[in-house]
Amino acid sequence: MKKKKLKEKLIKIIKDGEKIKTERAKYIENTGQINKIDTTKIVEELKRKLKIKEIDKGSNFKGCLEIPIPPFKNYAYLYEEDEITEFSITESIKNRIEDELTGNIKDICNLTIIQDDKDLVLKIQLTGERNEA
Beta strand spans in 26-99 (E): 64-68
Contacts of 83 (CB under 8 A, 6+ apart): 15
Residue 46 · residue 93 · CB < 8 Å: yes
In a domain, 21, yes or no: no
Distance, in Å, from the CA atom of 25 to the CA atom of 7, rounded to the nearest integer, reads: 14
Does a structural domain hold residue 16?
Answer: no
Lowest mean pLDDT among 11-25, 47-61, 64-78, 119-133: 47-61
Q: What's residue 62's pLDDT?
A: 62
Q: pLDDT tens digits, residue range 20-57?
A: 888 777 655 556 678 888 899 999 999 999 988 776 55
pTM (global) more than 0.75? no
Q: Is residue 99 part of a domain?
A: yes
The per-residue pLDDT for 131 is: 46
Report yes or no on 14 lying in a domain: no
Number of structural domains (the chain) is 1
Average pLDDT of span 87-96: 92
Q: Which domain holds residue 55?
A: 31-127
Cα separations in angstroms, 107 against 111, 117, 123, 126, 128: 11, 29, 14, 5, 8
Q: What is the DSSP letter of 18?
A: T
